[in-house]
Structure 1
């Protein structure tokens, strides 16, 4: 006898992925086990912290809102409509839900039991890939172009870039696994697991893995009396053990665990069971890896109570950057997310200083400048900033400035402890020169722009690359307004900036050899920052100011925008954008390898291909400088 409700469910499911990859018979089997849930408006389907359900859900009608709670405030971050899937967490993680699902209107939801659906996931690659991408990228439908990139994250960054990084994120796992022989007595293995606080022991023969004994095996086979505790490991081990290669991504590990329905993966030298054991990945390792995604790091920053806490988070960010570079995530994506987390760390450092000192006596803005102002700070380099406080009466000025200098000293000290060393040029808010009122800052910019080179105080160009990290956006907007008002048609200013941008010609000698340092501790090394990146940074800054392009500080994005507003030279600008990313990647890799700023590169360690790739980046540098010379009627020696 036909089930009309199940037939209606089949007719519905077949229109939406991943169900449209299944045949009628498979859909009928699933539909017969589906529970139909009616939710009144405001009814909660599941909530943050709740244990995962044994089903996942698809919206049949109505709308389900997804929300997170941060600082006691509930924030709606997305809405699931007809055909959207939610609640996939139980497929891939055993920890609790990280968001709340609540009906925004009267809704009907189909609850699909995971144990019923799982066999079709394991046997159908299209279904597997859909669910994996959905969970790893936090999207409800990875193939929905309209909503692509609208992440259901758990905090602040809802961007497509986060999906890429999280999807390819590597896993930190135990690289010193405990092993035993097949003849080992189970009692000894159980004692070993208790002493070492571990949940598994790999059984090896001739150093190769042949099985695994887990705490689940002890419960189901020993505790139930099926085997004596004096039996050997060979009798109760799970065999064969699932082996995987080193440097496995989070997404790949999820696939293996789902496919083989296991809680542990054995890492071997070549990924097979015919090579030595190198580590063990547990389900808990996946949970920890998911906790290191950008949204979670932002939340951790907001909860940090000390420089030590912030330092630990910055170390996690460094790991995320290194993994992302290794996995070939686009560097522009990594820069964007790194910039957001760096800004959050700065903001929290200021928060902590204010908590110690009390409320500020006036409104203010803390602006990051230099690489962080451009959201290009991937490595732990120096901190550059300035502070602007609103105008106050003359009799209050000294006390107000004194408060902000003390605030800045506390903040920069905290950031030093995190790992951001002070600017060697003194460009920090704790320097009394760079902590002053809005009116004083307007005078400062007026002098830089209208009388460049006429005083002993030359233009500090990094002060034109800024981003607010804390405080009143209206103050930042006032600075921006005065800058663009003064630079418009200002030939003297652009002559000065243009000549400054030409100070570093392309870094190749007459015979196309690299220009390296000739003396000092970096002798024979190539200064990629000064000789290659700085010319592009200077050119991008000059041209966006000349084109009146506001609000874009990142060098890569500046050239992308220039390609739009000046189509005659779009190819050159796009080449500059790509060259900047390539050079930045060289520097980042060097810095991560040597745990430094990556400024100086040993060319002898580069492959011939990399040297060619590096030289190719110098072509757009030469061409953009030629354009600057032509546009502003300059020479290298003006």
Structure 2
């Protein structure tokens, strides 16, 4: 097969399951019979209800999106080495999902008949097919990263705790319902008689609203509405609906996202089909106590930092499960960030209780860095600050002393929980980062109008702040002041641009990884400094240059940039995809090695892993080229 297309296909497939457990002769047969398909962006491979093909697919280059409800709901992204269309082939039914190229792609089409012949004599490949049919997740058993449908399946060790998140949620199949004109009193009596905490309002068996015990407390017990009023006057509408095969993970994320405690289950997952069930937060808790909702409730009940430390360890287990089950990294970030925020808020409240007096003026606690961007998945060191309302001049020293004392209590608790003290002392317990509103305004104005290397570095960290607790107006006023200073001194953006270019794309001239040349991490790859931060810095700079407020996370920034700069949409979307891969990769490495995941031993990576990382570096090069041109930086480098 030397120097043939089949040889190149053979060389590609041999690194990915189940092809890695085939004999060379078996894989040669497959490689010689592969059909190579080019797919322009938005081209469908197959659609829902389409009759199944007599082959399945492997992604060679690009990305294939798997969609529910035609092309409306993205449920998975397949990239290099990923297999799709396999379960439908085994199930022998029509496709229940659609597959479409979400970027220009090349896929390999492999005959199902050919594979069936081979697996009759290859037990390991047979295990792969059995496992893929048994679950609708990419890899419920392996600890390896995404990139294959299943990792090496030589020993499938079932892990009950991790499977909880991907199993179908058990919901009530007898939802209690009423009509729009049913009185609130009648609805409450029905709920009481049936011993349920919710009632769904339906029309032609379709859900149009819901009332829970909480609604009765808020609207009836407070006297805002009469018990004789119809239920439509207090119902929550529209309802959030999901299909009958909703997983525990999907349910948890949906409840967190929408801040609700009940989901309506319908025949096709939309509000336009028949109601078949109701899924409550209690149902999720019954399945597994270690879920986001239950953990946040534990946080709110915690009385000590030691208790919060115990909860944060559970969060790490939750993160491990999510990563293993290949839940989208964006959702993982939202869930973990929400829990981290609740933990920090509880640490602040416990510290306030320890103070002898209430705060003398209003204040806000700010998370900085990765927590401020809602990208802190692993436990890292603290980065925080505090802003307090301008006190009367004669009360300034006493006021600042109060907040410094409060900050010391909070940062000590966070350290006990597991968030180590910042080595650079960028914490609210440092007098430099515990300032009045006017002091913060002056501080930022100085950084922006008189920039130097240290001030640029500080501003990069402090521009990623997020209010965790306190008075929002203080933070809004501080933000307005910052944007005002940037607007009056735009050359500051050029200095930020130079800083954003300090780490070039992490490949050498010969396409080798740029690694550390000395020190503790010699010959290791710094994924944070060389790959993640260039994307973070670029997004921050571009969002500030567009005078866009309220977009703190890297992905949210690029999404907004794609909206306001449609001519660069493809570039920004490629940055989002690269960032997601890098963030997941760092998280996996951190969990695997019980570290921050920052430094990676390249020798421990498979060829596929190295290729996946290298695939993320082109967007870094392209976004840095855009910055060079936009801010005229070529002559300054």
State TM-score, norm by structure 2: 0.61
Q: Indicate the residue corresponding to 2:291 in structure 1.
A: 293
- Is 1:628 aligned with 2:627? yes
Change (3 A) 1:147 1:392: farther
Instruction: Give the Cα–Cα distance (whole angstroms) in 2 for the partners of residues 106 and 453 of structure 1.
Output: 62
| Displacement after TM superposition at 1:489 (Å) | 5.9
Q: Indicate the residue corresponding to 2:188 in structure 1.
A: 44
- Is 1:105 aligned with 2:251? no
Among 63, 66, 74, the residue aligned to 2:212? 66
Q: Indicate the residue corresponding to 1:611 in structure 2.
A: 610
Instruction: Give the Cα–Cα distance (whole angstroms) in 2 for the partners of residues 53 and 622 of structure 1.
Output: 57
Native 8 Å contact 1:64 1:104 kept in 2: no
Instruction: Give the Cα–Cα distance (whole angstroms) in 2 for the partners of residues 538 and 310 of structure 1.
Output: 32
Native 8 Å contact 2:176 2:200 kept in 1: no
Moved more, 294-303 or 592-601: 294-303
Per the alignment, in what secondary structure is the counterpart of residue 387 of structure 1? strand
Per the alignment, in what secondary structure is the counterpart of residue 211 of structure 2? strand
Q: Indicate the residue corresponding to 1:435 in structure 2.
A: 434
| Displacement after TM superposition at 1:351 (Å) | 0.3
Per the alignment, in what secondary structure is the counterpart of residue 141 of structure 1? strand
Q: Indicate the residue corresponding to 1:383 in structure 2.
A: 382
- Is 1:597 aligned with 2:614? no
Change (3 A) 1:562 1:310: same
Native 8 Å contact 1:370 1:384 kept in 2: yes
- Is 1:325 aligned with 2:469? no
Q: Indicate the residue corresponding to 1:553 in structure 2.
A: 552
Instruction: Give the Cα–Cα distance (whole angstroms) in 2 for the partners of residues 131 and 440 of structure 1.
Output: 49
Per the alignment, in what secondary structure is the counterpart of residue 447 of structure 1? helix
| Displacement after TM superposition at 1:426 (Å) | 1.1
Change (3 A) 1:635 1:45: farther
Moved more, 309-318 or 382-391: 309-318
Change (3 A) 1:593 1:499: same
| Displacement after TM superposition at 1:36 (Å) | 9.5
Q: Indicate the residue corresponding to 1:491 in structure 2.
A: 490
Q: Indicate the residue corresponding to 1:359 in structure 2.
A: 358
- Is 1:342 aligned with 2:337? no
Change (3 A) 1:525 1:361: same
Q: Indicate the residue corresponding to 1:577 in structure 2.
A: 576
Q: Output one character per residue of 1:604-626: Cα deviation in whole Å (capped at 9) or x when no partner.
A: 11111110110010100011000
Native 8 Å contact 2:516 2:523 kept in 1: yes
| Displacement after TM superposition at 1:335 (Å) | 0.6
Change (3 A) 1:618 1:75: farther
Native 8 Å contact 2:382 2:420 kept in 1: yes
- Is 1:141 aligned with 2:139? no
Change (3 A) 1:140 1:460: same
Instruction: Give the Cα–Cα distance (whole angstroms) in 2 for the partners of residues 460 and 618 of structure 1.
Output: 26
Per the alignment, in what secondary structure is the counterpart of residue 470 of structure 1? strand
Instruction: Give the Cα–Cα distance (whole angstroms) in 1 for the partners of residues 198 and 361 of structure 2.
Output: 53
| Displacement after TM superposition at 1:312 (Å) | 1.8
Instruction: Give the Cα–Cα distance (whole angstroms) in 1 for the partners of residues 324 and 351 of structure 2.
Output: 36
Instruction: Give the Cα–Cα distance (whole angstroms) in 1 for the partners of residues 609 and 486 of structure 2.
Output: 40
- Is 1:531 aligned with 2:540? no
Native 8 Å contact 2:531 2:617 kept in 1: yes
Per the alignment, in what secondary structure is the counterpart of residue 327 of structure 2? coil
Per the alignment, in what secondary structure is the counterpart of residue 44 of structure 1? helix
Q: Indicate the residue corresponding to 1:477 in structure 2.
A: 476
Native 8 Å contact 1:525 1:602 kept in 2: yes
Instruction: Give the Cα–Cα distance (whole angstroms) in 2 for the partners of residues 75 and 514 of structure 1.
Output: 59
Q: Indicate the residue corresponding to 1:313 in structure 2.
A: 311
User: After superposition, where does 1:18-417 map in structure 2 within 5 Å?
Assistant: 40-42=183-185, 43-44=187-188, 59=202, 64-68=210-214, 74=217, 105=230, 129=245, 138-142=262-266, 143-145=268-270, 154=281, 287=286, 289=288, 291-357=289-355, 358-417=357-416
Instruction: Give the Cα–Cα distance (whole angstroms) in 2 for the partners of residues 328 and 417 of structure 1.
Output: 30
Instruction: Give the Cα–Cα distance (whole angstroms) in 1 for the partners of residues 574 and 629 of structure 2.
Output: 19
Q: Output one character per residue of 1:178-219: Cα deviation in whole Å (capped at 9) or x when no partner.
A: xxxxxxxxxxxxxxxxxxxxxxxxxxxxxxxxxxxxxxxxxx
Instruction: Give the Cα–Cα distance (whole angstroms) in 2 for the partners of residues 395 and 414 of structure 1.
Output: 31
| Displacement after TM superposition at 1:292 (Å) | 2.5
| Displacement after TM superposition at 1:294 (Å) | 1.7
State TM-score, norm by structure 1: 0.61
Q: Indicate the residue corresponding to 2:508 in structure 1.
A: 509
Instruction: Give the Cα–Cα distance (whole angstroms) in 2 for the partners of residues 60 and 556 of structure 1.
Output: 39
Instruction: Give the Cα–Cα distance (whole angstroms) in 2 for the partners of residues 312 and 46 of structure 1.
Output: 41
Per the alignment, in what secondary structure is the counterpart of residue 523 of structure 1? coil
Instruction: Give the Cα–Cα distance (whole angstroms) in 1 for the partners of residues 470 and 580 of structure 2.
Output: 31
Instruction: Give the Cα–Cα distance (whole angstroms) in 1 for the partners of residues 478 and 177 of structure 2.
Output: 58
Instruction: Give the Cα–Cα distance (whole angstroms) in 2 for the partners of residues 402 and 582 of structure 1.
Output: 44
User: After superposition, where does 1:10-21 map in structure 2 within 5 Å?
Assistant: none
Per the alignment, in what secondary structure is the counterpart of residue 401 of structure 2? helix
Change (3 A) 1:636 1:397: same
| Displacement after TM superposition at 1:455 (Å) | 8.2
Native 8 Å contact 1:45 1:103 kept in 2: no
Change (3 A) 1:59 1:553: same
Q: Indicate the residue corresponding to 2:517 in structure 1.
A: 518
Q: Output one character per residue of 1:266-306: Cα deviation in whole Å (capped at 9) or x when no partner.
A: xxxxxxxxxxxxxxxxxxxx8361x3322222222111111
Instruction: Give the Cα–Cα distance (whole angstroms) in 1 for the partners of residues 579 and 247 of structure 2.
Output: 36
Instruction: Give the Cα–Cα distance (whole angstroms) in 1 for the partners of residues 178 and 483 of structure 2.
Output: 58
| Displacement after TM superposition at 1:40 (Å) | 4.1
Native 8 Å contact 2:200 2:210 kept in 1: no
Native 8 Å contact 1:452 1:492 kept in 2: no
Q: Indicate the residue corresponding to 1:28 in structure 2.
A: none
Q: Output one character per residue of 1:363-383: Cα deviation in whole Å (capped at 9) or x when no partner.
A: 001110100000000000011
Q: Indicate the residue corresponding to 2:60 in structure 1.
A: none
